[in-house]
Amino acid sequence: MPALKGAELPRPPAFQRVLNSVPVAVAIYIAVIYLIVWSAYAGAQNMGYNWQWSRVPQYLYSFTDDGFQLGEIFIGLGATIQLSVLSFALATLIGLGVALLRLSGLVVGKAVAIGFLELIRNIPLLVLLYLFYYVLGPIFGFDRYWASVLTLAVFHSALISEILRAGINAVPKGQWEAASSIGMTTAQTYRYIVLPQSIRFMLPPMTGEVVHLIKSSAIVSVIAVAELTTIGRNIISDTFMSFEIWFTVAVVYMVVTLILSVGVSYLERRYAVDQ
Amino acid sequence: MSTAEPIIQATHLDKFYDDFHALKDVNISVRRGEKMVICGPSGSGKSTLIRCFNGLEWHSSGTLTVDGLEVYEGSKDVLKLRQEVGMVFQQFNLFPHLTVLENLTIGPMKVRKLDRAKAEELARHYLDRVHIPEQADKYPIQLSGGQQQRVAIARSLCMESRIMLFDEPTSALDPEMIHEVLEVMAELVDTGKTMVVVTHEMGFARKVADTMVFMEEGRIVEVAPPETFFTNPASARCRTFLDQILAH
């Protein structure tokens, strides 16, 4: 460090320095986590819960004569991911449609979009699921799986359309004008100029939305669609290991959504380079 | 100076933004191949006027004909019109997610439907014209303001339009970069394109303009060839304006 000529700045108060230091923060963190885990464990002991962690791995994976096989929990996870991907793709399509309607400047388009948003936003997800499964399902003839996909897609499309709209609006007006000035149509401007640029504004909130969707997909277990939460419930009704299985299921959800968040923040950094 | 046939003809043009009267009974005609420079204080309607020429804004009443096309809101010819009228903006408005070359080729490829090879040939030709052939693979953010504006000029040239509009092309530039952009613009004079330039660069105007226009408060106050305009303007207001911007 070079010799500095200026006077040193006053330091923050001692109390603040100690509280902000890394060892103190780690200590507080560990203490809180310990308290939570210990009270849960102690509570379970008091009610005489019989912990059987050794029986959990067989639901994660197994070695049979056929070799390594994924257990029921991972099969359930696969179903959850499939359900989520399908719903998310559909939700993005619907969301884009609603966002474009809202941005179209047509009075009718705007009214339809706002009507849709308010309708969906003000119905609880569970009620929406019952509507799709018990009411719309029989009317239009789709099964419980498609009822689940449609429920998740419609519910999340409302939120996604707002994300898309904000992303599209974040592209400066000058970009529209430049595209117009070289004779592009509105559709071409969206496709080649505006949407590619709005992606970086949309990526962070969209990740949040995917995580949200994966978590809310658990709700379809109430109509017994086979996915992670349903399978967790089934295992428990066979084994009565509710503590171990719910902990495991929670951790599996967490790992998946964390991996997703980390992956996308990597993508975001890559996207930022070109801008 | 070229033929007397008008390529832009505005008759009794008025424009309102809600209650604000932005253009007041504007009558102007630009001949094919003419270089016209429009100046005037900010808020005088210069930009609004030329933005009406390519349908970025719509006039509220009056008639406007550009390159044989009637211009009005909702006209089916608006895309055709914009292909024939290029525009260079104050803020460059390059596409930040595309390389310089892609900025130039996207119009010819998507609008003029040229194939990639032809479009790239065109793009490289015009990058040469604006003296930055070596920047083809960079992104706009990696270029200086002057270079960005030259890319924007090349982007507009790539559409091979007959008319070029410049909306204060040097106002957002650092002083040392203004020169390189004006030089490129001056070199376009020989191409026979019709040019309408909104600018305060009076040295440039004196050099290239066939006609000078002075606007104030939405009105055209003075139209004159540069010799008369700079030495003996008819209106007192124009004289004051010139004194102010030529003084420094």
pLDDT at B13 over 50: yes
User: CA B189 to CA B208: how far, in whole Å?
Assistant: 7
Using CA atoms, how far residue B29 sits from A17, B8, B81, in Å, is 72, 5, 17
Torsion of CA A243, A244, A249, A254, to 10 degrees: 90
pLDDT band with cut points at 50, 70 and 90 for residue A272: low
Say yes or no for a CB contact (<8 Å) between B83 and A174.
Answer: no
Query: Sign of the CA dihedral A68, A73, A75, A77?
Result: negative
- Provide the ipTM: 0.91
B93 touches chain A (CB under 8 A): yes
Task: Give residue A181's pLDDT.
Answer: 94
Nearest chain A residue (CA) to B138: A274
pLDDT digits (tens, 9 = 90+) for B229-245: 998 888 888 899 888 88
Let me know how long chain B is: 248
Give the pLDDT score at B210. 94
From the list B79, B91, B96, which residue is nearest A275 (CB)? B96
Q: What is the 3-state secondary structure (H, E, C) of A199-262?
A: HHHHHHHHHHHHHHHHHHHHHHHHHCCCCHHHHHHHHHHHHCCHHHHHHHHHHHHHHHHHHHHH
Q: CA-CA distances (angstroms) from residue A126 to A129, A155, A228?
A: 5, 10, 17
A244-248, B131-135, B179-183: least confidently modelled range: A244-248
- What the block records as the tokens of A48 is 């005489």
**Best to test chain A binding among B56, B78, B106, B110 (most A CBs inside 10 Å):** B110
* pLDDT at site B11: 93
Residue A181 and residue B96: Cβ atoms within 8 Å? no
Amino acid making up residue B180: E
pLDDT digit string, tens, across residues A144-173: 899 999 999 999 999 999 999 999 999 999
Average pLDDT of chain B to the nearest whole number = 91
For B73: left if phi > 0, alpha if psi spans -120 to 50, otherwise beta; the answer is: beta
Contact B106 A185 (CB under 8 A): no
Give the number of other CB atoms < 10 A from CB of residue A148: 25
B196, pLDDT greater than 90: yes
**Looking at the complex, does the CB of residue B91 fall below 8 Å from at least one CB of chain A?**
yes
CA–CA separation, B181 vs B198, rounded Å?
A: 14
CA angle B121, A188, A183 (to 5 degrees): 65
CB B116 within 8 A of CB B170: no
Region for residue B136 given its phi and psi (left: phi exceeds 0; alpha: psi -120 to 50; beta: otherwise): alpha
In this predicted structure, the answer to whether residue A271 has a pLDDT above a threshold of 80 is no
Q: How far apart are CA A164 and CA A149, in angstroms?
A: 21
Q: Is B224 helix (H, G, I), strand (E, B) or coil?
A: strand
Nearest CB to A181 within list B87, B97, B141: B87
pLDDT band at B2 (very low <50, low <70, confident <90, very high): very low
Q: What is the pLDDT of residues A251-261, one digit of tens each?
A: 889 999 899 88
Residues of B in contact with A181 (CB under 8 A): 54, 56, 82, 85-87, 89, 156
Instruction: Supply the pLDDT for residue A269.
Output: 79
Mean pLDDT of B92-109: 94
pLDDT in tens, B14-63: 999 988 999 999 999 999 999 999 999 988 999 999 999 999 999 999 99
pLDDT of residue B187: 92
What global pTM score does this model have? 0.79
**Chain B residues touching residue A193 (CB < 8 angstroms):** 95
Instruction: State whether B93 and A182 contact (CB < 8 Å).
Output: no
SS3 content of chain A, % helix, strand, coil (to 5): 80, 5, 15
Helix (H) or strand (E) holding B174: none
Distance CA A243, CA B57 (A): 66
Q: What is the DSSP letter of A192?
A: I
Q: Are B186 and B195 in contact (CB under 8 A)?
A: no
- C-alpha distances (whole Å) from B99 to each of A109, B141, B142, B243 are 35, 10, 10, 43
Contact B89 A193 (CB under 8 A): no
Residue-wise pLDDT tens digits, A187-205: 999 999 999 999 888 888 8
Cβ A175–B79 below 8 Å, yes or no?
no
